[in-house]
Structure formats: structure tokens, C-alpha cells
Structure 1
Amino acid sequence: MSGDAGDKSHKATPKRMKQLRHDGALQRSQDLSAWLGMGVAAMTLSAVLATGTANAVQQLTVVRAIIANPDPAVAVQALFDGTTTILPAIAPLLVVVVIAAIGGSAAQGGIYFSTKKLKPTFKQFNLVKGLKRVFGGQAWWQGLKALLKTIVVAGVLFVTVKNITPMLLTSGGLSLHQVLDLAAGGVADLMRTAVAAGLILAVFDILVIRKTNRKQTMMSTQEIKQESKSSEGDPLLKGAIRSKQLAMSRNRMMAAIATADVVLVNPTHVAVALKYEPGHGAPRVVAKGSGHVAARIRAEATAKRVPMVADVPLARALNAACKLGQEVPEDLFVQVAKILAFVMSLRRRGAAQGVHTVPDRRAA
């Protein structure tokens, strides 16, 4: 048993993975959401700057005037005007960035928010696990990833600044609006190039995290058996429930015998109770059974004064062909009709109670 429990060689079941996602126990790449958000920002930056550059120039002019002639009231008003001007311009940018970040999280298995990770537990203070987090393979990957991101951003920044510096140095004849456009274009190029490289790193990060998640969520044979048992329920409890349901079904069946028109018997091994309702098609089986169930049906029929007819072939045929509540099959209509006619004649004479034999059967 202990060997099975320690041998975690099975992939996690869908139920286990769903529970781990719900609990926030699975690692996710934070880089994907961040780079997607930055990528969307880079794509929408030009549209935002098209409406925001003129406002920025106007605000810079106001700031320059305030510096030349300081006035607190004018400065506060300028701050308010600048805020109300800039926020509507960048609001669409913020919205699409948030949507992109959420999309990056959803792409890694759906959106889940769990408070379980926020609750302090003793496992969080486990020294051995803490050292593994600091010096383990995951920590080395995080360090390497941070180094690669630094190299990528620094390289892209260097190339972008190198390209834009000569243009800025020779921009003496350009207006402030043109200088801002030039700087914004450089920033957009920087962001797009950085995002392209960052997304490549994010793909590798996702692959590493998936491999780590698979390794950490492996299940033992015993864990799979335990999950299966908990999903299906305790066999003893399920057996007790089935027994109770069967008993309730039989009690309802026994209660229906009182409404039957006749009970066909075999004469001791099989019993089938039939009820005919005019306008409802063929007679219907309201009770059936063999062995001790047949004995109970006969006893109930005797107690409720329901006539019984001994017809071995017909009783066996109905017991085999019909389910409880089912109508009599067409090929047995004639034989059942003769039985019902015989029972009606017994009722007219007041001699229906007890076990009877159809006259033509007795003659045969």
C-alpha cells in the first residue's frame, strides 16, 4: 500500500486538475499576460497619441507659463484640466490592456480567483520547502528568465535610443508637437520590439510551467482509487440505497395489486398481476415476480380478494415479455382477453375469489 501511495506515476485526472485550478494551486505564466497587455498598448499607442499629442503640447505650454509666473490657483486649475484631458484619452488604452491581460490568464486554463492562497498555513513556513523554492530548478529558471528579459529590454532600448538620438539632436527646427511625435514613435517601436521578444520568452515560460505542473500534480495508484471511490460513493452505502429503493418499488407494486383485475400464476413460481382500464389500450402489468416475490403477490391477492388464474404458459410468457407498467404485447392479446372474460363471468356469479383454472385449459 505504501509503495502505491509513493509511486506517483499517473497523470492527474480531470477532476484533480479542476480542483487544483479552483484552489489556485497550479502555476501560471505571469509574463504572457504582461507581454500581451504591453503588445496591445503598443498597437493602440499611435491612436491614443494622435488625440493626445495636441493636448500634451497645450499642457506643456501652460506649465511653462506657470513656471514663468507662479500662481497656485492657476497651477491647481492646470492640474485639473490636464487630468480631465488626459484620462479620457488613455482610458481606452487602459481598458484594452486589462482585457488583454485577462485573456492571457484565460488562455492558460480559464479564469479562477481563489482566496485559499491568501490564508496562512503551516506549509508556508516549511523550511525545507522554502529552501527548495529558493534553490530549486524553478528558482533557477526564474532567475534565468529575469536575466533574459533584462538583456532583451536593454538591447532593444539601446538600439531604439541609438536610432532616435540623431533625429532628436537635429530637431532644433522642429516644433514641440513634431518632437513629441518623434519621441512617441520611438517609444512605440521600442515597445513593439520588446513585446515580440517577450512573447517568445513567455512561450518558453509556459512550456516550463506546464512541465512543472505535470510533475507536481502526478498521482499515485492509491490516490486515483481513492478519488474514484469518493466520486462513485461508498459501495456499502450505494448498496444500502439500492436496497431501499428496491424495497420502496416493491411496496408500491404490492399496493397496486389491490387495483388489479386478475393475477396469473404458475401456480407457485411466477405471478403476474394485470389491470385493464377501458380507453387505455391493452391491459397493463401492475405487479410481477418469481420465487418469494410471486408468493408475496399471491398472498396480497388473497388478502385483497383479487381473483387468481393458473395458466402456466401465459404467466411465464407475460413475466418474460413485460416490464412493470408495460402493456401486454400484441401477440398475447387474445389469450389475455379470454382470461379477463373468464374473470368477469366469475365476478357475475360472485365466485371470483381464490385460484381458478380456465375451463378450456382444464379440459386440455
Structure 2
Amino acid sequence: MAGGDKHSKTEAPTQKRKKEARKDGQVIRSEDFVTWASVLVATMVMPMLVRNGSNAARDALAMMLQVARRPDEGVLVSSVGEVMTSTLGAIMPTVVIMMVIAVVGNMAQVGLLLTGKPLKPKFDRLNPLKGFKRMFSVQSVWGTITALLKLTVIVAVAYTTLRSSIAELVAASPRSISSLLAEAASMSISLVRTIAIAALLLAAFDYAFQRWKQYRDMRMTKQEIKQESRDSEGDPHVKGRQRQLRMQASRNRMLAAIKDANVVITNPTHVAIAIEYKASYGVPRVVARGVDALAMKIKAEAATHNIPQVESRPLARTLYALCRVGEEIPPELYQAVATVLAFIQRLSDAQRTYVSTFDLHVPDSWSADGVTPERVSPTRRKMLERQAAKHAT
């Protein structure tokens, strides 16, 4: 089962999975990389440290001789202070550089991370059986292999470098003791630098392998990705049901507003637009709109409240294409809608139930083709054209 589950993890880890792992302290960091980088930098600043150290030692010796000639308390305190200042000035640059290397090395690998989860006690580590399994885990085996590889490479590099350096030192002409010591110090620094470079290459390889292994272990199954999507965004079925309920509630509010409409303009069967006008509005506005089944509901609701219905195909289609629920009608249709409202006002109560097309002469200029093009978006114009072609008789 474990092997099957491992092989089923074929999907790349999501950002949420990566953030959770980082929050838990599961980050890749190579201590060897920082250590050997510090050693490499130390070999580069060693000449400066030796020079500053020798100057500090010379100054300290001069101070000691001065105190010996003049055993005065004030001179002693002053000399000690100067010696300490000189010593700190000699070693502090190197210390600061080492600290900067350590901080930058860790920041480059894991960034800024503050978490206390790795410090929490895990009592399952006290289980002898799990401890035995960890001893022979892939992580432990890889750690042993890399340790042996590092040791082998370091020994090989040290042996090769020392053999060539000693051969050069022996073949050189006789020198003074100070010259030999300087040469030996230079060879030692060169040896340490070469070892540090080799160790850095190994640390970089180990870091790359650890990142690859972490990526492989963090891979997810398709089911896990689906479940995570549901947890973060919600179940698609539930979201669809909620969206359906919201649309139904919005539709019910729209149908309830029809009782306040002054007129319903129809297609006559495929489109219905309910228009409301009050003096306080200034401009008529659409309170309901719909096509097909929804248009039939709008017409039925209008009949229930004795709202007059005017059949005008071009005006109904144009209003549906240009206006949303709650929007005012566009200026291009002021005259058309005003004519309809004025006509309705002249009708008696008995005549207001339904008004046919022949009772109202609708000019051809009310069609969508007569509307200013910039008022209609390309999508809505295409929809209007499709509906006009579909319902043309």
C-alpha cells in the first residue's frame, strides 16, 4: 500500500503545501556549506589577520617595555587599554566577516524563518522500533554515504596537495628558518583553501539532492489536490448550490418588484422588460428583464398585478440588450419609452390589462440597429443579433 501510495503521488506540491512545510520547519539547510564557506573566506582574510596580529603583538611588546621602564599605575592602565584596543582592532574585522558569512549563508538557503515547531518535543522519537527504522532509512543511509564521500574527498585532496607542496619545499634551495616558516604557512593556507573549495562543491551537491528529495516527498496525489481545493475554496457542488440559491433569491426579488412597474414591454413571447417610472426618478428604469421561461414568469406576474403589457419586438430586444436590472434606460430610448408611458396613461383601467402591437405604432428607428453603436458592447450586440435571428418570424 505504501509503495502504491508513493507511486500515486505524481502531482507537484501546491503553494499551500510548501507554506505548511516551511511553517513546520521542514526546510533544507546545509550546515557544511556555511561552515566551509566561512573557512574559505577565512583563508582569504588570513594574511590581513596575520598582518594585523603581528602589528598588535609588536605594539603590545612596545607597551610592555615602556611599562617596565616606567612602572607607573597610570601608564600601566593606559598601556593595557591600548593593547586591548589594538588586539580587538586586529581580530574584529575577521570576526565580523565570519558572522556576516554565517548569516548570509543561512538566509540564502532558507530566507527569514522564525518557527518553534522543530523545538517541540516529539515523544514518538522515544519509540525504539521507530528509532531502529530511522537508522536504516534512506535519509540515514544517504547521510552515511555523504559523510564517507566527504572524508574520502578531503583526504584525497589533502594528500595530493601536501605531496606536491612538500616536494616543492624539499627541492627548493636552502633557506632561512623564517623563510621556511612563511612558506609552510602559505602552503597550509593553500591546503585549507583547496579542501574548503572541494567541501563546498560536495555541500552544494548534497544541498541539491536534499531539495530534490524534499520535492519528491512533498508530491501529492490528485485526490489530495482536490481535497485541498475543496478545503480552501469550498466543495464545487456546495458552491454551485449556493450560487443557484443566490440566483433564485435575486430572481424572486426581481419578480416581486414587477408590481411597482408601469408597463411590461414584450417580444411578445421570448423577451419581457418591466419598466418603472416615477417623477422622483427623472428617468425610467428597468426593474425586471428575462427571456423565454423567465419572460413568461414576468408576464404572468404582470398580469397578476394588472400591469399593462405592450408588444413591441424591436423595443423589447433593444432594451434587453442595453439595460440590466436596476439600470436607467439609455438616452437613445427616452422618446420611445416616453411614448409608451404616455399611451398607457391614456388607457382606461379596462384597457390596461394588455395592449397589442396594432394598438401602438412602433417606429422602425426603435430597433437595435438604430441605437448608437458605442452603447452596446460586442458581446451584448452578438447576443442581440443571435436572438433577433432566432426569434425572427
Using structure 1 for the length normalisation, give the TM-score: 0.69
Match of 2:13 in 1: 13
Judged with a 3 Å threshold, the aligned counterparts in structure 2 of structure 1 residues 128 and 266 are, in CA distance, closer, same or farther, namely farther
How many Å separate the matches in 2 of 1:56 and 1:277? 99
How far apart in 1 are the matches of 2:321 and 2:196?
73
Give the secondary structure class of the aligned counterpart of 2:29: coil
Distance in 1 of aligned mates of 2:341 and 2:79: 105
Give the alignment's Cα RMSD to 1 decimal. Answer: 5.1
Is 1:8–1:218's contact at 8 Å kept on the other side of the alignment? no
State the match for 2:355 in structure 1: 356
Provide Cα deviations, 1:183-231, integer angstroms capped at 9, x if missing partner.
8755643442222111111122123313432443233343233223323
Alignment of 1:175-190 (within 5 A): 185=186, 188-190=189-191
Q: 1:147 to 1:2 in 2, by over 3 A?
A: closer
Contact 1:307 1:343 in 2 (8 A): no
Q: What is the alpha-carbon distance in structure 2 between the residues aligned to residue 139 and residue 59 of structure 1?
A: 51
Q: Which piece of structure 1 moves more, 124-133 or 88-97?
A: 88-97
* Whole-Å separation in 1 of the counterparts to 2:34 and 2:119: 21
The Cα of 1:24 is off from its aligned counterpart by 1.8
Tell me the alpha carbon deviations over residues 69-91 of structure 1, each in whole angstroms, 9 at most, x when there is no partner: x9999999877655544445544
Measure the CA separation in 1 of the matches of 2:305 and 2:52.
Answer: 92
Task: Find 1:340's aligned residue among 331, 338, 356.
Answer: 338
Q: In the alignment, which residue of structure 2 is the partner of 1:115?
A: 116
Q: Distance in 1 between matches of 2:6 and 2:327?
A: 54
Matched, 1:38 2:39: yes
Once the 2 structures are TM-superposed, how far is the Cα of residue 343 of structure 1 from its aligned partner?
0.7
Question: What residue number does 1:141 align with?
Answer: 142
Mapping for residues 273-292 of structure 1, pairs under 5 Å: 273-274=274-275, 285-290=286-291
> Taking structure 1 as reference, are residues 33 and 157 closer, same or farther at Cα in structure 2, changes over 3 Å only?
same
Residues 58-106 of structure 1: CA deviation (Å, up to 9, x unaligned): 3466689999xx9999999877655544445544444444444444445
Contact 1:4–1:221 (8 Å) recurs in 2 = no
What is the CA distance between 1:115 and its match in structure 2?
1.6
> Does structure 2 conserve the Cα–Cα contact (< 8 Å) formed by 1:5 and 1:223?
no
- Give structure 1 stretches of 5+ with no counterpart: none
More displaced 10-residue stretch of structure 1: 52-61 or 19-28 = 52-61
- Where 2:290 maps in the other structure, the secondary structure is strand
Corresponding residue of 1:265:
266
For residues 306 and 258 of structure 2, the distance between their equivalents in structure 1, rounded to whole angstroms, comes to 10
* Letter of the structure 1 residue corresponding to residue 56 of structure 2: N
Q: Which TM-score applies when normalising by structure 2? A: 0.65
Structure 2 letter corresponding to 1:132: K
Q: Deviation per CA, 1:311-353, whole angstroms, max 9, x where unpaired?
A: 34543554366554667689xx46x732332213434778796
2:365 matched residue in structure 1:
none
User: For 1:3-36, what per-residue CA distance to the aligned partner results, in whole angstroms no more than 9, with x for missing partners?
Assistant: 9756444144232233223322244332222223
> In 2 relative to 1, CA 314–349 (structure 1 residues): closer, same or farther, beyond 3 Å?
closer
Q: Does 1:234 align with 2:235?
A: yes
Q: How does 1:120-199 map to 2 (within 5 A)?
A: 120-151=121-152, 153=154, 159=161, 185=186, 188-199=189-200
Judging changes above 3 Å, is the alpha-carbon distance between structure 1 residues 5 and 197 closer, same or farther for their aligned structure 2 residues? closer
Change (3 A) 1:7 1:186: closer
Relative contact order, CA 8 A, sep 6+: which one is greater? Answer: 1
Per the alignment, residue 29 of structure 2 pairs with: 28
Q: Is the 8 A contact 1:5 1:221 kept in 2?
A: no
Q: Pick which of 293-302 and 48-57 moved more.
A: 293-302
How far did residue 55 of structure 1 move?
1.9
Relative to structure 1, the CA distance from residue 136 to residue 191 in structure 2 (aligned partners, 3 Å threshold; closer, same or farther) is same
Partner SS, residue 18 of structure 1: helix
Q: Tell me how far apart the structure 2 counterparts of residues 266 and 183 of structure 1 sit (CA, whole Å).
A: 103
Closer, same or farther in 2 for the Cα pair 1:123/1:240, shift >3 Å?
A: farther
Relative to 1, partners in 2 of residues 1:4 and 1:288: Cα closer, same or farther, differing over 3 Å? farther
- Please state whether the residue corresponding to 1:356 is helix, strand or coil: coil
